[in-house]
Amino acid sequence: MATTLEHQVKECIINRLGLDVTAEEVEDDAPLFGEGLGLDSIDALELVIAIGKQFEVSIGDDDMGIFQSVNRICEFIRIARPEL
């Protein structure tokens, strides 16, 4: 079974930030900050690096809104890298 982009993004977030959850526990549309996973601004900077590197996308200051949810990150990646 092929791994979905959503699952890959979740694994990237979990591994980079050392979160104590599984990919299955992270909902695709759940907020990543605040009440969701409880991430903060330092975590956002880590994710810019991790997502950018793993998926070969450039995330600028104007793109920071993508970190609202896994679905938003995946939308961004699919637009930037339609071949994925």
- Read off the tokens for 7: 């699952």
- What pLDDT sits at residue 59? 93
Under the banding of pLDDT at 50, 70 and 90, the label for residue 13 is very high
| Residues 49-72, mean pLDDT to the nearest whole number | 93
- pLDDT, one tens digit per residue, over 15-59 is 999 999 999 999 999 999 888 888 988 999 999 999 999 999 999
- Domain 5-80 CATH superfamily: ACP-like (1.10.1200.10)
| Residues 47-75, mean pLDDT to the nearest whole number | 93
Domain ranges of the chain: 5-80
End-to-end CA distance of the chain: 16
- What pLDDT sits at residue 1? 46
Q: How many helices (H) and strands (E) does the chain have?
A: 3, 0
